[in-house]
C-alpha cells in the first residue's frame, strides 16, 4: 500500500551497498558461518581515551541540551584553526557548519545548490551517495571515469570535456573511496583552471585527508585559494579518530551557503549533539599520536593485502596512496565482479564489495577494506585463494 503512495523522488534515492552486504554477512553468521568482514569502511581501532574523557566531562558539565544549529563555537573555532593550519588558507568560524556525521554535508550542499536539470560531475567509481543525492534532488548526475591506467585519478582533459553550461557542481574525493587514489597539485591546478570564470561549486570530500602513506594532503583550496568562495570542504571524525558511531562531521563553505545549510539543519536535525561536539574539539586540539599510530598500522596492512592479492590467480592490485581500501582488478578471473563478490561471501566466507557498487566503471574490480587485523586479512586471503582455485586455473 505505502509503495503506491510514496513520493516519486524516493525511486531516485540509492543506498550504500556496504550495509546491505554487512546485513547478509550477519545473517550468515547467525547461521553459524564464519565470515571475515572486509566490506565496511570502519576503523577497527577504538576512539582515543582523551576524546572519550572529554565527552564524559562534557556530559557532567551540562552539555546535554540544544546547541546552535550551525554548531557550538568551541568546535567551529577548533575546525577553523585546524583548516587554517593544514590548508594554509585562513578560515573563520563563521565559515564552518557542524553536522551529525559528514553525509549531511553532501545532502545539504547538493540540496542548497542543485536545481532540477543542473549537472553535477562526480567520480566513477565513487562513493555511491554522490550520485544518489544528485538524482534525488532532480539533478543530472554526470559520471567521470577514474581509470586504473591513470592511477584512478581524475583526468583533467576529460573533466573539461564534461563541463557544460548546465554544470553546477563538481565533486572531488581524495584520498579516494573506493580506490585509495590521491590528487596531485598538478591535477588540482588543472581542475582550478578548468572552472576558472565559471559559476561552478566544487565539493571537496576530504574525509580521509589524514590517512595518507607518504607525502602531504593536497587540497584544492590550498592550490587555488582564490576559488575559496566556490568550494565546500567536507571533513569529519569517523575515519581519522575512529569515531564512526559518534556521528560528527563539518564543512567549510562561504557564509552565504552556510546560512542555507544551517536552515536545513534546523529543519532536519535541530543541532548536532552538544557533548559530541565538545569531544570533537578535543580531538582536533589534542595529541595526534593515535592518528599516526593508526595510519602506520594501516600501512602495514595495506602492504600485506596488496602483496597477497597480487599472488591470487587472475587478480592484480595497485598500491593505494591513502584511505584504507584496495581496489583489485579481477578481470583475469573471467568472472564478473558481482558474481565473484557473492562467491567470496557465500562460498569463501569473505564479505567484500563488487566494484559496481561504486558505479559502472567499477566493473572488473572488488573493494576490500583493510580496516581489520593482520590475522583476519591473512585468513581472508587464504579463503579467497581457496575459492578462486575452484574457478581459475
Q: Write down all domains in the chain, each with its CATH number in brackets.
A: 2-46+290-388 (3.90.1150.10), 63-285 (3.40.640.10)
Q: Share the mean pLDDT of the chain.
A: 96
Q: What is the pTM of this model?
A: 0.95
pLDDT in tens, 262-301: 999 999 999 999 999 999 999 999 999 999 999 999 999 9
Give the pLDDT of residue 38.
96
Q: Looking at residues 180-205, what average pLDDT do you find?
A: 97
**Number of residues written out for the chain:** 393
Q: Give the CA angle between residues 59, 61, 65 to the nearest 5°.
A: 60
**CA atoms of 359 and 274, how far apart (whole Å):** 36
Predicted confidence band of residue 172 (pLDDT cuts 50, 70, 90):
very high
Instruction: Tell me the C-alpha distance between 38 and 348, whole Å.
Output: 13
Indicate the SS3 state at residue 356: helix
Neighbours of 386 (CB within 10 A): 13
Please determine, for residue 365, whether its predicted confidence score (pLDDT) is greater than 80.
yes
Measured in degrees and rounded to the nearest 5, phi and psi for residue 384 equal -65, -40
Query: 59-90: per-residue pLDDT in tens?
Result: 999 999 999 999 999 999 999 999 999 999 99
pLDDT tens per residue across span 137-163: 999 999 999 999 999 999 999 999 999
On the question of pLDDT at 9 being above 70, the answer is: yes
Residue 244 falls in which region: left (phi positive, over 0), alpha (psi -120 to 50) or beta: alpha
What are 209-248's pLDDT values in tens digits?
999 998 899 999 999 999 999 999 999 999 999 999 999 9
Q: Residue range 328-349: average pLDDT? A: 97
Task: Name the pLDDT band for 1 (thresholds 50, 70, 90).
Answer: low
Rg of the chain over all Cα atoms, to the nearest angstrom: 21
Query: What is the reported pLDDT for 110?
Result: 97
Residue 267: the pLDDT is 96
Q: What is the mean pLDDT of residues 125-129?
A: 96
**Residue pair 323/177 in contact by the 8 Å Cβ criterion:** yes
pLDDT of residue 56: 98
pLDDT band, residue 14 (cuts 50/70/90): confident
How far apart CA 127 and CA 234 sit, in angstroms, is: 14
Q: What's residue 2's pLDDT?
A: 64
The mean pLDDT value for 20-41 works out to 93
Question: Pick from 236, 27, 17, 39: which is nearest to 128 by CA?
Answer: 17
Q: How many angstroms separate the CA atoms of 166 and 40, rounded?
A: 35
Per-residue pLDDT for 27 more than 80? yes
pLDDT in tens, 290-336: 999 999 999 999 999 999 999 999 999 999 999 999 999 999 999 99
Beta strands in the chain (DSSP E): 36-37, 96-99, 119-124, 140-145, 167-173, 201-205, 231-236, 249-252, 325-326, 350-351, 353-354, 366-369
pLDDT of 40 > 90? The answer is: no
Amino acid at each position: 500500500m505505502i509503495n503506491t503512495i510514496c513520493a516519486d523522488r524516493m525511486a531516485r534515492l540509492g543506498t550504500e551497498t556496504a550495509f546491505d552486504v554487512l546485513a547478509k554477512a550477519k545473517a550468515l553468521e547467525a547461521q553459524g558461518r564464519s565470515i571475515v568482514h572486509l566490506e565496511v569502511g570502519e576503523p577497527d581501532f577504538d576512539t582515543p581515551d582523551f576524546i572519550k574523557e572529554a565527552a564524559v566531562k562534557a556530559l557532567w558539565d551540562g552539555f546535554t541540551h540544544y546547541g546552535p544549529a550551525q554548531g557550538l563555537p568551541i568546535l567551529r573555532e577548533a575546525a577553523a584553526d585546524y583548516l587554517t593550519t593544514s590548508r594554509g588558507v585562513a578560515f573563520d568560524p563563521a565559515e564552518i557548519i557542524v553536522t551529525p556525521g559528514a553525509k549531511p554535508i553532501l545532502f545539504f550542499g547538493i540540496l542548497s545548490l542543485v536545481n532540477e536539470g543542473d549537472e553535477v560531475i562526480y567520480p566513477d567509481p565513487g562513493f555511491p551517495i554522490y550520485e544518489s543525492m544528485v538524482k534525488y534532488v532532480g539533478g543530472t548526475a554526470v559520471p567521470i571515469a577514474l581509470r586504473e591506467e591513470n592511477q584512478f585519478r581524475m583526468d583533467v582533459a576529460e573533466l573539461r570535456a564534461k563541463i557544460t553550461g548546465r554544470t553546477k557542481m563538481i565533486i572531488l574525493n581524495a584520498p579516494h573511496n573506493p580506490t585509495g587514489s590521491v590528487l596531485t597539485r598538478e591535477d588540482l591546478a588543472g581542475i582550478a583552471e578548468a572552472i576558472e570564470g565559471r559559476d561552478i561549486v566544487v565539493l571537496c570530500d576530504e574525509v580521509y585527508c589524514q590517512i595518507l602513506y607518504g607525502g602531504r594532503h593536497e587540497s584544492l583550496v590550498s592550490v587555488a585559494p582564490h576559488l575559496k568562495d566556490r568550494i565546500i570542504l567536507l571533513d569529519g571524525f569517523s575515519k581519522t579518530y575512529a569515531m564512526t558511531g559518534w556521528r560528527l562531521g563539518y564543512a567549510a563553505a562561504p557564509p552565504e551557503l552556510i546560512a542555507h545549510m544551517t536552515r536545513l539543519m534546523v529543519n532536519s536535525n535541530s543541532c548536532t549533539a552538544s557533548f559530541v561536539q565538545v569531544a570533537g574539539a578535543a580531538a582536533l586540539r589534542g595529541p595526534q599520536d593515535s592518528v599516526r599510530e593508526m595510519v602506520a598500522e594501516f600501512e602495514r596492512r595495506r602492504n600485506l593485502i596488496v602483496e597477497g592479492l597480487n599472488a591470487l590467480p587472475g587478480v592484480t592490485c595497485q598500491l593505494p596512496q591513502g584511505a584504507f581500501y584496495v581496489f583489485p582488478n579481477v578481470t583475469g578471473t573471467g568472472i564478473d565482479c558481482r558474481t565473484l563478490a557473492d562467491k567470496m561471501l557465500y562460498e569463501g566466507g569473505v564479505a567484500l564489495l563488487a566494484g559496481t557498487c561504486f558505479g559502472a566503471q567499477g566493473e572488473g574490480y572488488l573493494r576490500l577494506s583493510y580496516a581489520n587485523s593482520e590475522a583476519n586479512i591473512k585468513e581472508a586471503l587464504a579463503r579467497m585463494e581457496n575459492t578462486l582455485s575452484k574457478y581459475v586455473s
